[in-house]
Structure 1
Amino acid sequence: MGIMDRVLGEKKEKIKMSGSYFVSGDFVPLLLADDIMTGIYFKTLKGNDKIYRYYNGVYRDDGKETIKEMCMNFLKSSFSIHRVNETIACIQAKTYTDPDEINNNWINLENGLLDPTTSEFKPHTPEVFSIIRIPITYDPEADCPFFKEKLRGKVSENKFNTIQEMFGYCYLPGQKFERAFLFYGPKRTMKSTTLFIL
């Protein structure tokens, strides 16, 4: 299975290969870049030029490899590394993104995106530049009564709420809150168990 099949899957038919990337005998990388970007979303980080490709709800850092292989498929006998590099430069220029947008304000979960400040939940979208996904399926009705009961039996309500807050911090993208937690107390008060669960 080639990259065209792996990357595009059902989107393969959406790609409109113009078939001609030459004008008056000269290669025009922008034409090829536009064909490659039909049906595939890329984002390029300003500052380091790393290209990410959107696939299955998350951006992966295999953008350059994807573009190279697609150039080979599109250009066939006209393929050259110089033409690939020109095409990559066009895609980078069209998709530059500020690094502050990475994982910004959304938690990427198996079944969608969660805004931790508003509890809004929406389907995955290439508009959200997320490079990590937490392997958890979001269920707003889910509860863990056994854990809560055991924890409440060992700590005060105030500490219980702080522990829940600590769990929440661990799922937030970035480190803008810069918090550290230290468990201190007598034996058998679920310190190690809580850290293990976390």
Structure 2
Amino acid sequence: TEAGWPHLWLSEGFATYLTGLYLEHARGEAALSKYMTKARQQVAKFHAKNSGEPLVDTTFSDPNALLNTNPYQKGAWVLHMLHREVGTDAFWAGLRAYYDRYRHQNASTRDFRAVMEDVSGQDLEAFFDQWTRRPGHPVIEGTWRHDAAAGECVVTLRQTQDAAPFRVPVEVKAEGENASPATINLQGRERTTRIDCAEAPSSVALDPNVQLLAELSMRRAE
């Protein structure tokens, strides 16, 4: 059980995400992508009206007010991104270790982070601070153009939310190409980079595998 109301996501977010993983097991990857896409839309809608509320909210006065999208859908999204951050083997080993260590006890977000760090061997402080202590999520607008001479697409990503930039990996994929998605590490407000595009694609997709909690849009540069 979570150590206090601010850590409600440790039960509700887990239940929400594990439901999605069951759907993936039973129906395939597309089912999980659809499930997480809907959850992402719910998070964006909630944040539009509650922009100052982080996942771990220590400022509440009424515990019932915490029974909202944050501990459920955003909590699920934090686990989904953590899954990607540490890898599948470490993720499942970490969950097992967490439940073993805190069986019949109370645990906080810091406790969960410590277990995942022990198992993965990674420093996850920045990840947990960004996604559990900080309100909101990135709003990313992208543009692209094809450079036929170079056989590349020039991609520009901009974070347009009022808050400071997030540090996030963004997958980008040119439609019609057989290549795997390229990952752009967006560390600041804007970044321009190039990805392989031998032929002019019909479009370029952001986050094609539904791996990032963000509001995303992409258009061809004029």
Same fold (TM over 0.5): no
Q: Report which of the two structures shows the higher radius of gyration computed on alpha carbons.
A: 1
Where is the strand percentage greater, Structure 1 or Structure 2?
2
Shorter-chain TM band: under 0.3
